[in-house]
Amino acid sequence: MNSKNWRRSSVGIGVVAFAVLWSAASPHAAEPSTVPAASSTSEALWVADSAGFAEFSGKKLLLTFSSTGGMPSSMTFDGLDDFWGTICTNNTGNPELGLIFELTPSEVLDIENGIEVFPLQFQNPKGPPNFDCPSAIQFDNSGNLWVANKGADTKQPSIMKYTPDQLGKGGKQTPTFFTSPAIDTIWDMKFDKSGNLWLAADGVPQNVNGGIFEIKSNQLSAVGSEIVVTFNLQLTSDALNLPSTITFDNGGNLWTNGNGNTVLLFAAGDLVGSGTVSATPTVTLSSSIRKNGNDTFFNPDGLAIDQNRNLWVASARNAGGPKKKDGAISEFSSAAIATNGSPPSTVYLQGRAVTKHPAELTTGPQL
């Protein structure tokens, strides 16, 4: 275990410090897998936990790092395999002092080796809407960085767009803000293969019209300080209940969390048109009970599809077993998720403090 800190003054307000919690860590304690998990030397699973960020390869925990203050929220990678992460709040819990930071692959390796590094970081661009907890972060195919401000505290959710030129200047320039009066809180966002942006969000009034919303790619090219958008499509279904996480597979199908303890797949063919579109999920997955009494997933908080088309599900909490207060990460094979059912997990991770309550998931390079 290496506890060497690294820190750098941020662009804007505040300073963030990171500490290496583990490097080259041993696997989590886990029950034997019923099906061998597919391995990859190039892809890893990345996890944002309430305590930090973690990199996994199969069952092996490769690296974790965390902020000394604030709550990790989301992460993604750019075309150069640089890691971009968000901190939802500062160390006093203020969501208006969250931040965005970047780590190059060499900096991530330096962290693993206990070497001090100085990452790019910036926060609170003081745009027209209030900055409020960067809850999701994504790049589009043109290299623009998109960051969702959750809006849970300000009731003014927004999406910030940074151009590559702005990122090269450390985020000093004010981004373009996209807002909509139709939503109250943004939980997650992802691009589809056509460049359209999809949100998992609470509607207005809150907790009544929550759902999945699409913004067409041509709407995202608008220029100005604040762009008010009208959603092209709102996906609704009796199987949905305030979805908080979404991801797309290679076929353009959308995965999300559903009513109760379920994970849903909506076919790409149902994600077309405009207005309010009601659809029935093509696949509904329900949790099953493992032999230690834990659920394979419980009220999922994060979803990811890896390069082998396997599904990863993060649950911040569990419902049963000896560690029911701890969350877990489960992997399901591509064959097991092709039809409705309660498939067994091929990998099940639960244990160390940094992944005690895993939430956001993404796949990325193994660094």
Query: Residue 246: which of 273, 260, 265 has the closest Cα?
Result: 265
pLDDT of residue 207: 55
Residue 308 has pLDDT above 80, yes or no: yes
Residue 133 has pLDDT above 80, yes or no: yes
Residue 197 has pLDDT above 90, yes or no: yes
pLDDT of residue 39: 40
Q: Which amino acid is located at 186 in the chain?
A: I
- Residue pLDDT, tens place only, 198-240: 999 988 765 555 689 999 999 999 888 889 999 999 999 999 9
Residue 2's pLDDT band, with cuts at 50, 70 and 90, is: very low
**Angle CA(91)–CA(95)–CA(97) in degrees, nearest 5?**
65
Class of domain 5-365: mainly beta
Residue 119 has pLDDT above 50, yes or no: yes
Q: Are 314 and 358 in contact (CB under 8 A)?
A: yes
Whole-Å CA distances, 230 to 42, 150, 213: 39, 18, 10
Map residue 329 onto helix, strand or coil: strand
Instruction: Select the more confidently predicted residue: 13 or 75.
Output: 75
| CB atoms near residue 328 (< 10 Å) | 29
Residue 85 has pLDDT above 80, yes or no: yes
Among 74-88, 281-295, 352-366, the least confident range: 352-366
Q: How far apart are CA 187 and CA 350, in angstroms?
A: 24
pLDDT of residue 322: 66
Residue 21 has pLDDT above 60, yes or no: no
pLDDT of residue 367: 84
What is the arithmetic mean of pLDDT over 110-114?
83
Residue 172's pLDDT band, with cuts at 50, 70 and 90, is: low
The contacts of residue 360 (CB under 8 Å, 6+ apart) are 47, 48, 73, 74, 75, 136, 188, 245, 301, 302, 314
- Residue pLDDT, tens place only, 142-166: 999 999 999 888 888 999 999 998 8
Among 13-17, 48-52, 123-127, 185-189, the least confident range: 13-17
What is the arithmetic mean of pLDDT over 257-280?
94
pLDDT of residue 59: 85
Query: Residue 301: which of 225, 188, 192 has the closest Cα?
Result: 188
Residue 40 has pLDDT above 60, yes or no: no
Residue 288 has pLDDT above 50, yes or no: yes
pLDDT of residue 187: 94
What is the arithmetic mean of pLDDT over 318-334?
84
What b/e readout covers 218-245, taking b as 16+ CB neighbours within 10 angstroms? ebbeeeeeebebebbbbbbbebbebbbb
Q: How far apart are CA 80 and CA 138, in angstroms?
A: 14
pTM of the model: 0.87
Q: DSSP secondary-structure letter at 12?
A: S
